[in-house]
Each structure stands twice: as structure tokens, then as C-alpha cells.
């Protein structure tokens, strides 16, 4: 039981706030997002849209319609 609870603290199953697709966030222990370069400007814009993780496809995307709308 304790091992199961600990694993829940290490990763989460989420739905992307931008597109709704399911993905796994491994939090601070080697999550895929740590290898994706994101500029400070894009990170600031993303933080204005969501307070949680987004999926790999959305983070790597160069075309974020929601960000375009928020910057106009």
C-alpha cells in the first residue's frame, strides 16, 4: 500500500488543459517536459492559460491558438 501511494506522488495521469488528451506527468523525477526547451515568453504565456501540466504535443507545438488569442 505504501509503495502504491509513493508512486502516486511520483507521477500523475492528467488530461491536457489545452487539448484534452491524456498523458503522464512524472513530476520532478525525470519527466519528459524537462527535455523540451521553452522560452521565458512562451512559459509566461502558458502560465496565464493553465496552472497545471500540458501534454507533450502541446508543449512542443509551435502553433498554440490559445496563446495567439491571448497575445493580441
| Under 8 Å between Cβ of 10 and 41 | no
Q: What is the pLDDT of residue 30?
A: 77
Per-residue pLDDT at 67: 54
Band of the pLDDT at 63, cuts 50, 70, 90? low
Query: d(Cα 70, Cα 68) in Å, to the nearest integer?
Result: 6
From the CB of residue 65, how many other CB atoms can be counted at a distance below 10 Å? 9
Would you state the pLDDT for residue 51?
Answer: 86
Residue 21 reports pLDDT greater than 90: yes
- Write down the pTM of the prediction: 0.65
Residue 18 DSSP one-character state: T
Q: For the chain, which residues make up each domain, given as ranges?
A: 2-71
Amino acid at each position: 500500500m505504501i509503495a502504491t501511494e509513493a508512486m502516486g506522488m511520483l507521477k500523475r495521469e492528467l488530461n491536457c488543459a489545452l487539448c484534452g488528451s491524456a498523458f503522464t506527468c512524472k513530476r520532478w523525477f525525470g519527466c519528459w517536459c524537462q527535455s523540451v526547451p521553452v522560452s521565458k515568453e512562451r512559459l509566461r504565456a502558458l502560465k496565464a492559460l493553465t496552472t497545471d501540466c500540458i501534454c507533450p504535443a502541446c508543449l512542443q507545438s509551435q502553433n498554440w491558438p490559445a496563446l495567439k488569442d491571448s497575445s493580441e
